[in-house]
Amino acid sequence: MSEEKNTFMLDGVAVEFNEGDTIMDAALRAGAYIPHLCHNPEFTPHGSCRVCVVGVNGRQVSACTQPAATGLDVDNGSGDITDERRRLLQMLFVEGNHVCPGCEKSGACQLQAVAYYTGMLSPHFTHFFPKRAVDASHPDTAIDYNRCILCELCVRASRDVDHKSVFSISGRGIGTHLTINAPGGKLGDSTFAATDKAAQVCPVGAILPKHRGYDQPIGERLYDKQPISIVGDVATRKPGNGGDSHGG
């Protein structure tokens, strides 16, 4: 007799999971897309963006931190869940300064792609228009703080993979911001290198390689031809899916 497999229901479809999996882990392995921004399977999840919110047996949880378990009934696509994700994305857009038509990352930006996927076509809330700088002190990489969504992926990559801890998060509330751990607070004063893992994980256009921002033509970028639900994000998409991965 074959051993019974561990499964939960995701929008009415049985999804297998392994011991220790989160809902997100099992869904990604099964090819089921759950919108997300701060999640990367290489790092321990912490659910900071909440965009991966799902309904589980009547309550809302983040799919990247919720352990998978037999008997779960997971809602990933209802109107209520999509509305909640859309509100979260709208708040992210107004808390920063995102000008998609002029952004080097447009068409390959995970934030933009998830917004399109959820049908978020307007910010809805009043823009904060925060005053944020651009750090171009490093010879190979620039940081545009206007686009940072505080996902902490660069923090985790620098700490856990590069073993440099170049980045950290400081402040509270609307004053929360990304900081550079260097004497002058500038990227050029730090031990950061363009070859670091932290240079490759930003889901938006906050960390950008210099001198190549528009080398990928519009119409040929990662999400220009297929939605993120098919292509996947830069961190989790399988080889052969195509698209430009620079800066993400």
pLDDT digits (tens, 9 = 90+) for 43-63: 999 899 999 999 998 899 999
Contact in structure between 192 and 161 (CB atoms under 8 Å): no
Strand partners for 41: none
Strand partners for 8: 15
> In the predicted model, what is the mean pLDDT of residues 19-47?
95
What local confidence, expressed as pLDDT, does residue 234 receive?
61
Q: CB neighbours of 183 closer than 8 A, spacing ≥ 6?
A: 189
Q: CB neighbours of 34 closer than 8 A, spacing ≥ 6?
A: 23, 24, 27, 28, 52, 54, 63, 76
What local confidence, expressed as pLDDT, does residue 213 receive?
74
Domains of the chain: 7-77 (3.10.20.740), 87-231 (3.30.70.20)
User: What whole-number distance in Å separates Cα of residue 225 and Cα of residue 243?
Assistant: 9
What local confidence, expressed as pLDDT, does residue 195 receive?
97
Q: CB neighbours of 108 closer than 8 A, spacing ≥ 6?
A: 216, 221, 222, 223, 234, 243, 244, 245, 246, 247, 248
For residues 247 and 134, the model is more confident at 134
User: What whole-number distance in Å separates Cα of residue 75 and Cα of residue 52?
Assistant: 11
- pLDDT, tens digit, for every residue of 114-163? 999 999 999 999 999 999 999 999 999 999 999 999 999 999 999 999 99
User: What whole-number distance in Å separates Cα of residue 245 and Cα of residue 204?
Assistant: 11
User: What whole-number distance in Å separates Cα of residue 54 and Cα of residue 208?
Assistant: 31
> Is residue 13 predicted with pLDDT exceeding 80?
yes
- pLDDT, tens digit, for every residue of 195-233? 999 999 999 999 999 988 778 888 889 999 899 999 887
> Is residue 243 predicted with pLDDT exceeding 90?
no
> Is residue 236 predicted with pLDDT exceeding 90?
no
What local confidence, expressed as pLDDT, does residue 203 receive?
96
- pLDDT, tens digit, for every residue of 75-128? 999 999 999 999 999 999 999 999 998 899 999 999 999 999 999 999 999 999
What local confidence, expressed as pLDDT, does residue 3 receive?
61
What local confidence, expressed as pLDDT, does residue 235 receive?
54
Kindly provide the residue ranges of all beta strands, DSSP E only, lying in 24-146, ordered along the sequence. Answer: 53-56, 59-62, 73-75, 134-135, 141-144
